[in-house]
Amino acid sequence: MATTEEVQKLASLARITVGEEELERFTREFDTILGYIGQLDSLALSEKGEERPALRNVMREDGEPHATGKYTKKLTEQFPAREGDALVVKQVISHE
């Protein structure tokens, strides 16, 4: 059984605010959903069940970089706040 405190904890881990009413609804729904996916528990799987995929190298050689600044304008245009090409954010570490 999920509790509202647990769901509240998950919400804060996921950086989401959940209102009181929604918290209760999510908690109820969680029970139903977890009840359903709980059927995995009764599944008898051998340790070999999880197959390791065959490995192949998907890395490519570094090279052919795009010209510096090619995307700067397009990307900075999406910034909510900026100074020149710099993204403005709140201070991360406080001195207080």
Binding residues vs another protein (CB under 8 A) = 7, 10-11, 13-18, 22, 26, 29-30, 32-34, 36-41, 43, 45, 49-51, 56, 58-60, 71, 74-75, 77-81, 87, 89-92
Q: How far is the CB of 95 from another protein (least distance, A)?
A: 14
In a 3-state reduction of DSSP, which class is residue 44? coil
Q: How far is the CB of 22 from another protein (least distance, A)?
A: 7
Cβ proximity of 30 and 15 under 8 Å? no
| Residue 20 or 50 with smaller CB distance to another protein | 50
Q: State how far the Cα of 55 lies from the Cα of 47, in Å rounded to an integer.
A: 20
Q: How far is the CB of 1 from another protein (least distance, A)?
A: 13
Structure tokens at 26: 């999510």
Nearest to 10 by CA among 1, 20, 23: 23
